[in-house]
Structure 1
Amino acid sequence: MIIEPVLTEVSFAAGLAAFGDRTAVCVDGQAVSYSELADRVDAAARSLGTVRRLVALEADNSLPSLVVYLAALSAGHPLLILPTGGGRAAESLVAAYDPDVLARVEGGDAVLEERREGTRHALHPELALLVSTSGSTGSPKLVRLSGDAVQANAAAIAEYLQLRPEDRAATTLPLSYCYGMSVVNSHLSVGATVVLTDLSVVDPCFWDLVRTERVTSFAAVPYTFELLERAGFADMDLPSLRYITQAGGRLDPDRVRAYAQLGRRRGWDLFVMYGQTEATARMAYLPPDVAAEHPQAVGIPIPGGQFRLAEVPGLDERELVYSGPNVMLGYAETPADLELGRTVTELHTGDLARRTAEGLYEIVGRRSRFVKIVGLRVDLGQVERILADLGMAAAAAGQDGRVVAAVESAAGESGHGLALIAKTVAQEVGVPRPAIHLHPVAAIPRLGNGKPDYPAILALHDSSAESSTGGGPADAPDDVRGIYADVLELEDIGDADTFVSLGGDSLSYVAASVRLERALGDLPRDWHLLPVGELERARTAAAVPDAAADPGAAGPVRAMVQKWRNRLLAPMETGIVLRAVAIVFIISTHIRLFSWEGMAHVLLAVAGFNFARFQLNGPPGARLRRQLRTIARVVVPSVAVIGFAFAVTDSYTWANVFLLNTVLGPEGWTDYSRFWFVEILVHILLGLAALLAIPKVGRAERRWPLAFPLALFGADLLLRFRIIDLPYPGQGPVLWLFALGWAAAVSRTLRARAAVTALAVLTIPGAFDDGYRNATILAGFLALLWLPTLPVPRALHRITGLLASASLYAYVTHWLVYPLFDQTSKALAVAVSLAVGIGYWAIATRAMNAAERWLRALRERPRDAQNI
């Protein structure tokens, strides 16, 4: 006898009214009761019609979106969850499955686009949800979940978390993500409260919301814990917090232990959880009382679930297999699959595991060919199929953070065209472009049995990276004219020309000064203003030994010390050293390799110092052109990276792309604030270019070169000390630091430097609440003011110069680079971020130089035509 499946509604969605006047949802300071929510859900269900239809929802953390979600579940309409915000991924799913109704939130209201009155699909009675697997957003492969699975998983989570009606959960994850969805489901199933928000945990407003709404829990993925550390979570007073849950990837055991112990001290629990979309969200949890002692474990099965360890041919480890009522019906890859019933009875997780003596399960590896990149699971087989569809024979290997593919190419083919193909692959699998590495090979490396040699393929990237490092060209010129021609990409350089008059600026002076130091030895303080002919004579003089400077004249011991000192150490300009050290410290602090705040503000003073050196010489017209050129050299490479980040991630907005987040973005520190330094610097440079273009203002600056920056310094202090209380977005007033650096550059006398020192000592120590940060800024500024050079080991001169030259480029790129590596090694993440910044600097500088040469040729062409 065949038993027909019975259509079942999802109980918690259909029974909301049973909790009466209890608060179901808090959003924007308003409370929505369960009765009111039930009424809204019923109205939305009526709008969906009585005919069972496929509904696609662009889910977000809003009340209208939640209402449509619950309406579909309660009325038995299968719901296809689309990514938050729509975009190409949503469009591809809509095109593949052709839903009958498309729902989205516009203008604060739910909008239902009925694409047909009935349905064109054969929908299995048990089908309730269609959800993208982890990392396959936009792929036609979906997980088919039954109503019973959704209900069972919500009940199991509520049981082991011991949820109660008094609990209130903040939505730190999107509703479109199965983990975020499970938070909503489990809380609504027991009559608890969901606090809807899109705020990040680094936003102080989020913690204000936690306190105001008495939030008892929030959900976290591994990256969230890095944000918590940046937000100072460990020192927060959160009396209502009862527990934190963690899933979405492996959390480092040391961090598990640290947060479990922190929770014990603070009175809340840490629940480490393990799950997959194919199990409706959760399969295991680690009881909080054993988390500190067994931080490497995923724990025990959830209530109603079971694990078994299955043998894997050819491996000593065993695969973790899960069974329970929350296991998916199966996958869907086409609309025809929507009428299928259960095709899966137990879930082969693809993870290799073991069971400890304490009965806890631990994951020891992966069986399947997947890697995790920025939290997304990428199928290496899919990468190979994409390349095959592009007509390429390839084999892909990978580690968490990157994919490396060997692509067969014809003999002699350069492989440079693979860059565009790598971009296509990255877009198809939904990961950042730098995570995909394609290498041309004559033949795919293979083992003796004919199978691809994946370790050898992985090694292609390592050997390529190694071969790409090294010194500069052996035939680089070492005369002043040759160095200037090489760095500035110019040809006609006369004796009277100076570095500044030739268009040199703060972005090119590092490369020039490092090479000039090798050619000339110690450089004069104002070398950038000295004529080429004078520097050439200094080079000639440096090649002639000075008998009066013979160290032996001062005694053999002192001569030996001086000899070894000169051999090991050589001076470098303080500004160069500060830029190199600052970018290393800034990136290391962001990645949490170590914490050393304040170096970005030191760079603001260095920027002011360099502005005075390179932007304030020559006639007004030339000055303005030089200032605009420098601004372009900052804006173009920065916007290129930010625009790319905006295109491939959901972490930024148009305000970031146009460098206006400090003006148009949300108040306080958020993820959108990451490029604050570039934005503030560009705003300052634009403002000063406009100000100094006014003839009277320009004359005033030339007449009072020290008083002018000090006047700007004083004006900005009125805002900093709130003598004039104006709304100031972003990081708060920082022009005064730029102006201090400017004043340092034009302080020519001991009295002037002493006065500027006094101003710095009076104002910098109170700039921030953190005394160490203030001390860092003060020390950096005083070094810039008083020390023209710093001794640096000769072996580090080249890398110091490279880091200084590429500091801006590393700053803007590292936000995209380090998430690919920091789960493997934070030190590696720092190193790769710096290397990518140097590479981007080399490429972008060449491109901008070429563009400038083309523009110069374009301007000169009419003149040449007239001469004919």
Structure 2
Amino acid sequence: MTISPIVAHLRSYDDRIAVLCSRSPSAGVTAAGSVADGMQRITYAQLAILVEEYATRLGPHRRLVAIAARNDIDSLVAYLGALSTGSVVLLAAEITEELLDTYDPDVVVDAGVPVARRAKSAHDLHPDLALLLSTSGSTGSPKLVRLSTANLMSNASAIAEYLSIGPDDRAATTLPMFYCYGLSVVHSYFLRGASLLLTERSVLDDQFWEQARSHRVTSFAAVPYTIDLLDRVGFDRMRLPDLRYITQAGGRLAPERVRAYAQLGARSGWEFFVMYGQTEATARMAYLPPELAAEHPECIGIPIPGGRFTLEQVDDASAAELVYHGPNVMMGYAQSPGDLALGHTVEALRTGDLARRTADGLYQVIGRRSRFAKIFGLRIDLQRLESRLAAAGFTTDCTESGDHLVIAAQRGVDVRSSAEVTATAARLSGLPAAAIRTCPVDELPRLANGKPDYPAIRSLPGAAPSTTRDIRALYADALGLDPASIRPDSSFVDLGGNSLTYVTTSARLERALGKLPPDWPALTVAELERIPSGNTSFGRSLDPATLLRAVGIVLIAGSHIGIFTLWGGAHVLLGVAGFNFARFAVTAAPRAQRLHHALRTAALIAIPTAVWVALTLLFSDYYGWQNVLLLNKILGPHDSDTAGHLWFIEVLVLFMVAAALLVRIPTFDRLERRDPFWFAMALVAFTVLFRVQSFGLYSTHDVPFSPLACWFFALGWAAAKARMIWQRLLVSAVMLISVTGYFDIPDIDAADRERLVMAGLLLLFWLPAVRVPALIAGVAAVLADSSLFIYLLHWQVYPLFGQHHIAALLAALGAGVAATRVVAGLRRWSLSRFRSRESGLRPTLPAPVSRSAGLAESSGRQSDRVTAPPRGAHPHA
């Protein structure tokens, strides 16, 4: 049997590792590779077998094979298997109806599974043709780039040469395989017998960096948006001892960022390669040698090995167009099946970029000649307009929408009003101001490949009417944000969502969308808007933390009033607080932002408490000045009637502030990012010391109701970071052992309290969601959202009702709900007034948090601090 060159090449590297991935292939393979640390290790010899088996499944005939590609082993095997049969591969993120209608592929592959639409090809395929890619790197564009095997091999060889890729190199797949930049990593690494860490994880994901370190990744590819994300996760402080270089392409990176990363690499022991390319050149045309990046950050560098540039004067520009010549220049474009029979229709690639050659022999792109729009009869050079707006101090992306110019204007430190941007654009373009729509944004919308996302710009608030449910408006109202600051790729956590806003937002979303996905806080606005309408199966989902808060506040108030006696809710809610702190505060955000938002959340607990306590001093001696400062558990007196009333709020605020300060310390920050679960377990091990030793700080009776109960908070933190069953089992075992006997002190019903605490924490640790009737879900959400004010006010409300306990409970709950609504209304009103006052300087306030800054809000949800005992009731809830 004839062995394809691809299979033969793979076999030539024999037992070297080719791919590390999270699971074995699903296509009925016989060589799945070895498994260790939860990762599949597939050698080149095993990969060759997989590819050969897949090629056999496809059959001997050369056909047009459309593959929906992901960064997984199934897609990789399908791609290589199709190429090894000599077939032509159409590679995309999704095989859309438009692609199916336009090109009528013979075979369609999704999730690695081939579906043959015919046994032989219906198309005339040119012998040299191997690959079809979208011109933009996006999904489903019917205009495709035709690439030959020679194109692929020559570009892979050139890239491998200037990057000095060797067999010991390992690249993490940070870019999608259907994008020419991401695919070039696959080609160049396999050409040299190097390996891939095949992953779809984002650089925002802690586990991406865990895998990069543990599997000794030596490189990864970045687009400008990736660089933004690296800044947010504190990449400059990461320790990656095996990292050899980072490549950057997919769009222009600002010169100051190029210089900063080149200098960072020089300090850290890795190199920064800035590269220039287009899909039409297979991938790469130029690179900037790392040693020149700091000195010439504005340049694209020199041609890749085997390529060359010429500069050709154009009539409508004062500069010359950059033209590339080399064996990686595409065969030509395809816009219909008939074009698949064409040979090479392009000799050189006119890039469309205006450029110059510096005295040092480096090439520099200075503009673009082909971005024009015709609006009001005027021909507008959008690239030139952006450049002139930049010179005027505005960072913008410009596009057209019908008969209007749409400008996405990025806010900055010296941001000016959208009216000023509009006036400047009108003056520079000659358009009337009425034809210009300026949309202020915190960040300019970008595609996955880092290029401007013009469709997203056209859909910005104020640019065009929205055709989808307005998730932005919902988030803006719930989180107190400017709708214009909410990007399609922003999630609840990104926008600063925390436990203080979780319940209200989830309830509103579920009313808008029907059944809400359990992972909705991590889903983007665009993903939520795509959820089908009417997804309203029985009831609604309740987060266990929300359920525990609602039940907890009822149990606490009811026990204080005397309806029943069920103690232990406070300690369950300490675990809930730690759980939420880990979810919303201990994230990928930079240290300073983590601290800022955690302290802000603590303040939203502490300030209302202090204000209410201070007000009570005007008409009673119920509390003392120590309670106003939330320091009664530290300053005393410990023997007053109300000494224990606010203990839970006091220690919760203390825990949150201490935890936020802890992860602000660089050493602990690095340890936590390196291994979030074991860091949390180390905190558990440390704080459990206070379970067995009080160090004489508190009496035996007071220990469980003091700051020494911090280990409940740490247990919740560890549970939130537990990703595997064995990790949850470990946290659960530690909890059960630690709680047993903890309340075995005089005058305490230990057994019932321990059972309640254990049951609540186990529910928190193990139950992802609770499905309940909509009415119950709504009531629980309201109670959880109002729990702080229910707790604060019930001490003063229920004594007014004497022995009418049920009425007292209902009145306390109602007062807390009413107070919560009033405070929320005042907050929205104050924000609106503030924006109005600022409108003379800017159209709207910048979003309180950027994509990452918002990741740092914490667990202080209003329902995280319910509990404390009543006058005459047991002093410890």
* Alignment TM-score > 0.5, same fold: yes
Change (3 A) 1:722 1:59: closer
28, 31, 41: which one pairs with 1:31?
Answer: 41
What's 2:430 paired with?
456
Q: Tell me the secondary structure at the aligned position of residue 768 of structure 1.
A: helix
d(CA) in 2 for partners of 1:740, 1:38: 62
1:324 aligns with 2:320: no
Q: CA deviation at 1:141?
A: 0.7
What's 2:154 paired with?
152
What's 1:52 paired with?
62
Range that drifts further, 753-762 or 161-170: 753-762
Change (3 A) 1:159 1:172: same
Mapping for residues 79-90 of structure 1, pairs under 5 Å: 79-82=89-92, 84-86=93-95, 90=96
Mapping for residues 567-606 of structure 1, pairs under 5 Å: 600=496
d(CA) in 2 for partners of 1:340, 1:644: 49
Query: In structure 1, what residue type is equivalent to 2:103?
Result: Y
What's 2:629 paired with?
757
What's 1:442 paired with?
none
What's 1:798 paired with?
836
1:169 aligns with 2:174: no
Query: In structure 1, what residue type is equivalent to 2:51?
Result: V
Query: In structure 1, what residue type is equivalent to 2:44?
Result: Y
What's 2:127 paired with?
125
d(CA) in 1 for partners of 2:82, 2:124: 17
50, 55, 61: which one pairs with 1:40?
Answer: 50
73, 87, 90: which one pairs with 1:77?
Answer: 87
What's 1:768 paired with?
660
45, 60, 64: which one pairs with 2:74?
Answer: 64
Deviations 1:275-331 (A, max 9, x none): 000000000000001111111111100000000001010322100000100000000
Change (3 A) 1:657 1:224: farther
CA contact (8 A) 1:328 1:344 kept: yes
What's 1:18 paired with?
12
CA contact (8 A) 2:94 2:139 kept: no
What's 2:692 paired with?
none
Q: CA deviation at 1:736?
A: 8.2
Q: Tell me the secondary structure at the aligned position of residue 98 of structure 2.
A: helix
CA contact (8 A) 2:7 2:52 kept: no
Q: CA deviation at 1:98?
A: 0.6
d(CA) in 1 for partners of 2:513, 2:843: 16
Deviations 1:114-150 (A, max 9, x none): 1001111000000000000115532211000011000
357, 360, 365: which one pairs with 1:358?
Answer: 360
Change (3 A) 1:292 1:347: same
What's 1:622 paired with?
none
Q: CA deviation at 1:225?
A: 1.0
Q: Tell me the secondary structure at the aligned position of residue 767 of structure 1.
A: helix
Figure out how many residues of one structure are paired with residues of the other and give that number: 577
d(CA) in 2 for partners of 1:358, 1:735: 54
What's 2:242 paired with?
240
Q: Tell me the secondary structure at the aligned position of residue 15 of structure 1.
A: helix
CA contact (8 A) 1:396 1:454 kept: no
Q: CA deviation at 1:42?
A: 1.3
Query: In structure 1, what residue type is equivalent to 2:836?
Result: R
Mapping for residues 479-490 of structure 1, pairs under 5 Å: none
Query: In structure 1, what residue type is equivalent to 2:332?
Result: G
CA contact (8 A) 1:169 1:193 kept: yes
Change (3 A) 1:13 1:169: farther
Q: CA deviation at 1:765?
A: 2.5
Q: CA deviation at 1:193?
A: 0.5
Mapping for residues 511-522 of structure 1, pairs under 5 Å: none
Q: Tell me the secondary structure at the aligned position of residue 629 of structure 2.
A: helix
Q: Tell me the secondary structure at the aligned position of residue 31 of structure 1.
A: strand
Q: CA deviation at 1:72?
A: 2.0
Query: In structure 1, what residue type is equivalent to 2:660?
Result: F
Change (3 A) 1:128 1:629: closer
91, 107, 111: which one pairs with 2:113?
Answer: 111
Change (3 A) 1:26 1:684: closer
Tell me which protein shows more helix as a share of its residues.
1
Deviations 1:151-192 (A, max 9, x none): 000000000000001101111111111111000000000111
Deviations 1:411-466 (A, max 9, x none): xxxx9xx99xx9xxxxxxxxxxxxxxxx9xxxxx9xxxxxxx99234854557779
Deviations 1:662-710 (A, max 9, x none): x99xxxxxxxxxxxxxx98xx8777666777x6x777668x59xxx9x9
Range that drifts further, 328-337 or 65-74: 65-74
Q: CA deviation at 1:333?
A: 0.2
Q: CA deviation at 1:62?
A: 1.1
d(CA) in 1 for partners of 2:147, 2:832: 64
103, 108, 112: which one pairs with 1:102?
Answer: 108
d(CA) in 2 for partners of 1:637, 1:798: 35
Q: CA deviation at 1:243?
A: 0.5
Change (3 A) 1:796 1:267: same
Change (3 A) 1:686 1:718: closer
Q: Tell me the secondary structure at the aligned position of residue 52 of structure 2.
A: helix
Q: CA deviation at 1:716?
A: 2.5
Query: In structure 2, what residue type is equivalent to 1:76?
Result: G
d(CA) in 2 for partners of 1:121, 1:157: 33
CA contact (8 A) 2:835 2:844 kept: no
Q: CA deviation at 1:405?
A: 3.6
Q: CA deviation at 1:746?
A: 3.9
CA contact (8 A) 2:262 2:272 kept: yes
d(CA) in 2 for partners of 1:333, 1:723: 52
Query: In structure 2, what residue type is equivalent to 1:52?
Result: R
Q: CA deviation at 1:658?
A: 9.8
Query: In structure 2, what residue type is equivalent to 1:73?
Result: L
CA contact (8 A) 1:395 1:407 kept: no
CA contact (8 A) 2:494 2:851 kept: no
133, 142, 145: which one pairs with 2:144?
Answer: 142
CA contact (8 A) 1:57 1:79 kept: yes
CA contact (8 A) 1:167 1:216 kept: yes
What's 2:591 paired with?
none
Change (3 A) 1:221 1:762: same
Answer 1 or 2: higher relative contact order, Cα 8 Å, separation at least 6: 2
What's 1:336 paired with?
338
d(CA) in 2 for partners of 1:643, 1:725: 17
Q: Which runs of 5+ in 2 are unaligned?
A: 23-38, 387-395, 408-421, 441-472, 589-593, 618-622, 631-649, 667-788, 790-821, 855-877
Change (3 A) 1:354 1:753: farther
Mapping for residues 281-320 of structure 1, pairs under 5 Å: 281-320=283-322
Query: In structure 2, what residue type is equivalent to 1:299?
Result: G
Q: CA deviation at 1:653?
A: 8.9
Q: CA deviation at 1:756?
A: 5.5
